[in-house]
Structure 1
Amino acid sequence: MTDAALPPRPPITFRTKALYGVGAAANIIKQRGITTFLLLFYNQVVGLPPAMVSTAIMIALIFDAFIDPLVGQISDNTRSRWGRRHPFMYIAALPVSIAFYMIWNPPVGWENEALFAYMLVCLLTIRLFDTFFELPSSALLAELTSDYNERTSMISIRSFCGVAGGLIMQLLVYQVFLKKHADGTGGLLERGGWQTYSIVAAITIFTIILISSAGTHHQIPYLRKPPVRKVTIPAMVKEVAATLNNRSFVALTVSGMFMNVSLGLKTALELYFNLYFWGLTQGQLALLTVTGVVASVIGVVAAPKIAARLGKRMAAITMFFGAVVALLLPIGLRLLGLMPENGTNLLFGILIVDFMANGAMAIMTGVMLQSMIADVVEDAEVKTGRRSEGLLMSADNLFKKIVSGVGVFVSGTLLAYVAFPQGAKPGQVDPELLRNLALIYLPTIGGFYAVAISCLFLYRIDKSVHEANLRALQEGAMEARTTDAQTEAGTPAAAGPAGDLTPVAPRP
């Protein structure tokens, strides 16, 4: 159904934007749990070798990556009284929550191979049903608004909700569920606290999914409906290839691939660096988490303004570069002997400021990139005549998740290469071992980030191009109405090569 055939849409209220945005918190709570804590939990608490843990995570990410395009294409072509997206979103809530609880409560006394299989099954289930929610929910953005700047604003709200939700749950881990007590009990290596965390996180994920899905339910009458048609597998493959053959989309995808290798590596080793390299306490980690919430507020407030001033592409490149510098600089200075000693207030103060700078610029980068992907939707529609939000979002995720799994796998490989001890206590790890880890980490992650930033220069959709695309689509919709009127009046209508009416003429 073209926009011309849809009922007039009332303005999107802040309430709708907020309820749509809060859905990101479910994904980030799940994602932070897996990327930040799972390697530490299964390696240092359960006792699995790090290579086995990172291999399971990588397999699950690759599985998820290939499921994404399938779910995206099915979602784009689904016809139901609840529209294309919402049936999948509602279905996801219960299975993903149960699987998330189970992964933090593995059986006691099992052999490593059995624990590996248990962990992998839980991860695959989480990834499958999380895709059922996150992908259709993300695809809704391009349908809820086509305005160039409003998209950035909505993504800012969604990014803030995601980051804040993930960081608040992380703060609860440090200060409530696994708090380190004065008598030495508790802490991240205490198994009992993880059960409480898993219960609260699973219930939170379930509730957020239902609230966000219901919060956008009233928008269903204004969302596009796919045409009634018979789609064969060869035709579907041809459509997918045509949709993804977009220069700006390819630039974003390649950039995202290199970025996500680095993100997978960074996230998996971040807690190791904080606990062992910097010697931070759990109380200090909690303060860093609070700083992250503040940084996310700064990022989401500043992102739309910077994007409007510089344009999305240059804003993304500038903020991306700044975030990478902030991430790598403290470790580099420590290797050069220019950072204060561990345990000093000066060191922690420097890390707080650096963490806030990195977090704010990383949030702004993420907002820009998501908004840029949304703008590809109309660009691809003008060229192909098809609306494929789900396919574009899922294809973007496919490549990112494949290589993100590689990043997680590399993190486990690096730990194994430097012979990082199992059950290690902060302050008791050989400084030379930590130095070797940092020396390998810096050039690896820095190189991947450099390629990611360079690819963004190839993105070509600015505000003027986007508005030209909207005008072309509007003209196509008017032509479709004229064609329909001529058909009803008995006047022959022009047909495409296959005899189908073409509402939008593809652009060369």
Structure 2
Amino acid sequence: MSEKTKARPFGIRDKVGYMFGDFGNDFTFLLSSVYLMKFYTDVMGIAPYIVGILMTVARFIDAITDVTMGQICDRSRPTAKGKFVPWLRRMCGPVAVASFLMYAFWLENMSMTFKVVWMFATYILWGSVFYTSINIPYGSMASAISAEAKDRQELSSWRTIGATLASTVIGVVLPLIVYYTDAAGNSVLSGSRMGFAALGCSIGAVICYLICYKMTTERVKIEQETEKFNLLALLKYLLTNRALIGIIVAAIMLLLAQLSLSSMAQYIYPNYFRSSAAISASNLGTSVLTIALAAVMPPLVQKFGKKELSIFGALLGAAALIVGYILHTDNVVLFVVINLIAFLGIAFFNVSCWAMITDVIDDAEVRTGKRADGTIYATYSFARKLGQAASSGLTGGLLSLIGYSAATQFDQNVVDGIYNITCIVPAGGFILLALALIFIYPLSKKRVDANIAALKAKREQ
């Protein structure tokens, strides 16, 4: 099904290049996850539940576009540069332009109907079409860069570093730029500043994608899928893959926890604690912890296993947020510490999850003899978007339920509700993540090692 091509040895150039790919991805993905709801509720005046509906509708579209892009990747003919990496150069421009258009602050005085239609059109164009067409090939190419498990774990760690660098820009730097203090001393999001920040992130995304394109090399030649497309066979292949189902459920729960924390930070710090600067402090600490964990994760994985460490992280995050909910503290420093412990729990899964999906691909090949990197990664990517939708839909609905609007955003009962949402929703996501890994996902360290040995023996024949 695949074979190694003659190329320069795997090394730091590939790891740094692959890092820049997720740096580029998260310039637009995290920007949307963290700021889009805040922008449309506070600047454009759209109700939170409508933004939540948008996220849900988009996921139904993604069910088609993600799997379609996975099939396109698997069925495409390899080029001299490879099978997956050329898509980065093809689609980096469209995804950047579509992302910028989502933050069209110059339309804030248009009718509500126009603004809602614009929001739906630009978000679907960005996320369901252009982001999909670059993210699926990018994620799939990890298994083509190297066939070695150690190399793939390093790629996963470096990918997490790239995402963390983007998170630092978006979570640490941007709050200092896009918020201003009004006459009453409240931290308020500026529409124009948000728009120009989005433009800067789009330019940064293009640069990062092109660096990834230039620096990475596909060494494992993955043959073109030539069998006639059979939807029923594909569904059977996916639905009978317990490892894939396990990682899908885990990804949905992880994103529910992570993105709820990230998006609610734009409400709890400016509205409850009256400090937008605390967003930057919290995100800076998160970035430092994640990069530190990424540096030590490969030897930890070799000793304990990816699944096992991810379960520990999920339980750690849940415990921190439950304590935070019980305390209901007014001390912003204490809450930042609680938030950092929760994000450390997230990092245990995030640092390894990209290597875990290659484990799923390997496991499918061992069981069925068939390798479908693009299709499996596309299914996993769709699951992550479901987690994004679950987070946005649930938090948007709950914000509407507590009566949040631009007019009520600093009322005491509303800000108390914001605090409760910030703790309860991600804590529930953490608990469900741990349960999914324990009871559904079967790829323990012992089984992963056995699969790697079986595939190595197969390719050496």
- After TM superposition, is the score higher than 0.5? yes
Shift in alpha-carbon separation, 1:254–1:471, aligned structure 2, 3 A: same
Displacement of 1:208:
1.1
Shift in alpha-carbon separation, 1:289–1:441, aligned structure 2, 3 A: closer
Displacement of 1:50:
1.6
Aligned residue identity for 1:286:
S
1:232 match: 228
Preserved contact between residue 17 and residue 212 of structure 2 (Cα < 8 Å): yes
How many angstroms apart in 2 are the aligned matches of 1:139 and 1:309? 26
How many angstroms apart in 2 are the aligned matches of 1:284 and 1:263? 18
Preserved contact between residue 44 and residue 423 of structure 1 (Cα < 8 Å): no
Residue 386 (str. 1) matches residue 370 (str. 2): yes
Shift in alpha-carbon separation, 1:326–1:9, aligned structure 2, 3 A: farther
Structure 1: 5+ residue stretches without partners: 342-346, 480-508
How many angstroms apart in 2 are the aligned matches of 1:305 and 1:130? 33
Task: Provide Cα deviations, 1:307-338, integer angstroms capped at 9, x if missing partner.
Answer: 2222111111001211222234223211xxxx
Displacement of 1:465:
2.9
How many angstroms apart in 1 are the aligned matches of 2:353 and 2:148? 16
- Match of 1:180, SS state, is strand
2:111 match: 111
How many angstroms apart in 2 are the aligned matches of 1:246 and 1:441? 34
How many angstroms apart in 2 are the aligned matches of 1:185 and 1:276? 11
How many angstroms apart in 2 are the aligned matches of 1:37 and 1:478? 49
How many angstroms apart in 2 are the aligned matches of 1:228 and 1:263? 35
1:152 match: 153
Displacement of 1:372:
1.7
Task: Provide Cα deviations, 1:274-328, integer angstroms capped at 9, x if missing partner.
Answer: 2223x14222222222212212222212322322222111111001211222234
Point out the structure with max Rg over C-alpha: 1
Residue 139 (str. 1) matches residue 140 (str. 2): yes
> Which stretch shifts more, 179-188 or 362-371?
179-188
1:318 match: 312
Preserved contact between residue 259 and residue 452 of structure 1 (Cα < 8 Å): yes
How many angstroms apart in 1 are the aligned matches of 2:337 and 2:425? 24
Alignment identity in percent? Answer: 18
Structure 2: 5+ residue stretches without partners: none
Aligned residue identity for 2:435:
S
Displacement of 1:71:
0.6
Equivalent of 1:429, from 411, 422, 425?
A: 411
Preserved contact between residue 243 and residue 384 of structure 1 (Cα < 8 Å): no
How many angstroms apart in 2 are the aligned matches of 1:304 and 1:478? 25
- Match of 1:224, SS state, is strand
How many angstroms apart in 1 are the aligned matches of 2:90 and 2:170? 24
Shift in alpha-carbon separation, 1:285–1:260, aligned structure 2, 3 A: closer
Displacement of 1:244:
5.0
Equivalent of 1:223, from 220, 225, 228?
A: 220
> Which stretch shifts more, 112-121 or 290-299?
290-299
Displacement of 1:468:
3.1
1:189 match: 189
Task: Provide Cα deviations, 1:386-417, integer angstroms capped at 9, x if missing partner.
Answer: 22111111112223323431331121111111
How many angstroms apart in 1 are the aligned matches of 2:207 and 2:364? 35
Aligned residue identity for 1:225:
I
Task: Provide Cα deviations, 1:168-220, integer angstroms capped at 9, x if missing partner.
Answer: 23322222x3253697899642222122212211111111111112221xx24
2:82 match: 83
Shift in alpha-carbon separation, 1:115–1:228, aligned structure 2, 3 A: closer
2:428 match: 447
Displacement of 1:61:
3.4
How many angstroms apart in 2 are the aligned matches of 1:264 and 1:350? 21
Preserved contact between residue 91 and residue 132 of structure 1 (Cα < 8 Å): no
Preserved contact between residue 20 and residue 212 of structure 2 (Cα < 8 Å): yes
How many angstroms apart in 2 are the aligned matches of 1:423 and 1:26? 35
How many angstroms apart in 1 are the aligned matches of 2:40 and 2:270? 17
Shift in alpha-carbon separation, 1:467–1:412, aligned structure 2, 3 A: closer
Q: Provide the aligned length of Structure 1 versus Structure 2.
A: 457
Q: Cα RMSD over matched residues?
A: 2.6
